[in-house]
Amino acid sequence: MSGPSSLARRRFLTGGAAVGAGALLAACTSNESPQSAPQAVAGAAGQNAQPGKHVTIGFSAPAADHGWMAAMTKNARAQAGQFSDVTFTATEGTNDVNQQIAQVETLINQKVDVLVILPFDGKALTAAGQAATDRGIPVVNVDRVFDTPLAYRTWIGGDNYRMGVNAGNYIAGELKKKGVSNPVIGEVAGIDSLPLTKERSQGFRDALAKNGFTVGPRVSAQFTPESGEQMTSNLLQSASKLDALWNHDDDQGIGVLAAIDNARRNDFFMVGGAGSRNMMDLIKADSGVMKATVLYSPSMASSAIALARLLGQAKGIGDLAEHEIPANVTTFSAVVTKENVDSYADVAFDS
Amino acid sequence: MTKDPSSVLPEATQAPPPRAAPPAAKAPRGRFPVDARLAGLFGVFVLLCLVGWLTRPDAFFTEGNLSTVLRLAAAIGVVSVGMTFVIISGGIDLSVGSMVALSSVWMTTLATQSFGPVVMVVCALAVGLVCGLINGVLVSYGRVVPFIATLAMYASARGLAERISGRNTQVVRQADFLAFFRGDFLGIPVLIWMFALVFVVGWILLNRTTFGRRTFAVGGNTEAARLAGINVKRHTALVYGVAGLCCGIAAIMVVARTTSGASTNGLYYELDAIAAVVIGGTLLSGGRGTLIGTLIGVLIFTVLGNIFTLNNLDTDIQNIAKGAIIVLAVLLQFRTNRARKST
């Protein structure tokens, strides 16, 4: 099977969208206890939440080395805690592929009912996923996709291309509303060598092109606040006139905003990416250039646990006609603005 | 009394023992540090500025852009000043980036923000200094090779920064800190003043004090320096302390610039600083070097990044250009060195 990665990302099953939206909606009315602070976690709930057959879920993920990844693990743990019929067995997060393979093997030997794997490297972990599947353990593959669907039962992840598309469409829409012709649209990308950055940029370009616009000044940073500040400082010198700016990542966005503040610029509006709490707070306050952010939400980890439980209990998703859990679930990169920020506050993560 | 009262040396000079001459002679103290190598390097810098001006006449030589370049050069510049001391003394410090990260995280977490800006600043300086001194003590008293001692600090300081911050970005909410360090003084950003101050103090320390002369002596010939009565171990430890203190200062600058402390601050600073010091003409083997060369080295790299962004070019090619400049500058120095030696 060629390019299952792109296939899986692009494929946008109706069922997948329904589950994603359902998870988000359900999360808004989640009965999660408020004392789970400092960071609230996104959770899913529904009719299937009633206790059923007991399920042991094994979980393996990379080290929580930045805010988004930390939120993934927190969300998974919190979601498992919501179910009285789930035992959650998590391994220590690691960025060492060999160690993660060993962890998955350990979980298989412990005879967990379902495995949830967020691989550090999807290709490298494919064999481990395959081994679990061969032993009759369903695997929920999260975000970084395995090389072949033979190695997983269900994949759930984000949609980088659509992140770019939605950012581009939002920016184009706002500019048209203001009646701006020939706008200068800047882009602060993440690490350029990563496929996810390429997909985000491609989606952004394509969406702008469809509206008759192009990307103007573009820099790539390293996903860190410092690199964001540095690259944006230079970018702002380059563009004396700017109408809009898309920054791929809310963590580096702290630096991007610092640079904008330092240059005392307010001639444009900015859209972020991922959906951190900092940025959602700024969007809500509406006191600066920050007007929106495009989600790439770690709530997918919560949904992955919910799916794993249903797989373990051999249930389907109530509202769908399907008897089975869908094979692919792609989360939707919603645009969070001042108008809807309150309904997304629960999926915000601390960067 | 062997001391000549009319000597230009400050009176703190060691009472000259019989064999003091060789190391003292090695230090290029008397010569003002402008020579063929520096002139060549300055030529490269001017050329680069010319390219910037020709490609973006509207944007390059504007007040805003020059101030941006200097502000971005400030943190890595301060780190490079410390690195120059370490390399002249014959060592190397691979941990500068990690020390910046640790200092910045320490000053923004552990509740220091709630104790006000002074505590934050003192905390950053203290953390940098202590880490530097640990490096120095390991190198001098522990006899650990500088490469290894600072490699250990490189790993552990960033690890500690990650642990303290929980890998979260700590946004600075301390208004006084931001107001001061992000502000201007006489129309020039405070960060640029800090950079200038560190540079001038570093230059005086290196070229006009006993401490500087000893640094050259230790790097030029350790044994001769020891025989000349210099406490080589203590001095080496102090030199790494200076580098650590510079990292603390740089951490304040990075936190001010980005309004946040993060364990990812100061990433790759060690490589950038070593590159700047080396193309600035400082010998990696120690004993010779100038801070002016380092300053031009830092500015070359910062201006290069600026020109690339002004012209909307890919950053990949920027790295290739950076590599080419390092090779060119070092080749140039090698040739002028040889030419001078043969005359």
Digit-coded pLDDT (tens) for B41-61? 888 899 999 999 999 999 999
Distance between CA A4 and CA A343 in Å, rounded? 33
- Taking CA atoms, what residue in B is nearest to A39? B168
Which A residues, 226 through 265, put their C-beta within 8 Å of a C-beta on chain B?
A: 226-231, 233-238, 240, 251, 254-255, 257-258, 261-263
Helix orientation angle between B96-108 and B117-140, rounded to the nearest 10 degrees: 150
Q: Cβ–Cβ of A225/B260 closer than 8 Å?
A: yes
For B271-293, letters b (16+ CB in 10 Å) and e give ebbbbbbbbbbbbeebbbbbbbb
Give the mean model confidence (pLDDT) for residues B273-301: 92
* Partner residue opposite B315 with nearest CB, options A220, A226, A351: A220
**Nearest residue of B to residue A68, measured between CA atoms:** B168
Q: Where are the beta strands (DSSP E) in chain B?
A: 170-171, 184-185, 188-189, 260-261
**Which chain A residues contact residue B167 at CB under 8 A?**
64-67, 70
Is 0.90 topped by the overall pTM? no
Q: Which residues of chain B are within 8 Å of residue A254 when distances are taken between CB atoms?
A: 169, 171, 258-260
CA dihedral B81→B82→B85→B88, nearest 10 degrees, is -80
pLDDT of B217 above 50: yes
Chain B touched by A224 (CB under 8 Å): yes
Alpha-carbon separation of residue B174 from A253, A262, A283, B178, B190 (angstroms)? 19, 16, 21, 6, 17
Which residues are within 8 A (CB) of B128 and not within 5 positions of it... i.e. 6 or more apart? B99, B100, B103, B244, B245, B246, B247, B248, B249, B251
User: How many angstroms separate the CA atoms of A65 and B159, rounded?
Assistant: 11
Give the residue from A66, A222, A238 with the most B CB atoms within 10 Å of its CB, the best one to mutate. Answer: A238
How many helices (H) and strands (E) are present in chain B, helices listed first?
14, 4
DSSP state of A93: P
Contact flag A217-B264 (C-beta cutoff 8 Å): no
Rounded to whole angstroms, the Cα distance separating A258 from A226 reads 10
What is the ipTM for the molecules in this complex? Answer: 0.82
State percent of chain B over pLDDT 90: 66
Q: Do A192 and B315 touch (CB under 8 A)?
A: yes
Q: Exposed, middle or buried by CB within 10 Å (0-12, 13-18, 19+), for B225?
A: buried
| pLDDT for the residue numbered B102 | 96
Print pLDDT tens along chain A (351 aa). 334 444 444 444 444 444 444 444 444 333 333 333 455 676 666 677 788 899 999 999 998 777 788 889 999 999 999 999 999 999 988 888 999 999 999 999 999 999 999 998 889 999 999 999 999 999 999 998 999 999 999 999 999 999 999 999 999 999 999 999 899 999 999 988 888 899 999 999 999 999 999 999 999 998 899 999 999 999 999 999 999 999 999 989 999 999 999 999 999 999 999 999 999 999 999 999 999 999 999 999 999 999 999 999 988 888 888 889 999 999 999 999 999 999 999 889 887
With contacts defined as CB-CB under 8 Å, which chain B residues touch A223?
264
Q: Which residue has the higher pLDDT, A305 or B16?
A: A305
- How far apart CA B190 and CA B183 sit, in angstroms, is 6
Return the ∠ at Cα A226 (arms to A224 and A232), rounded to 5°.
100
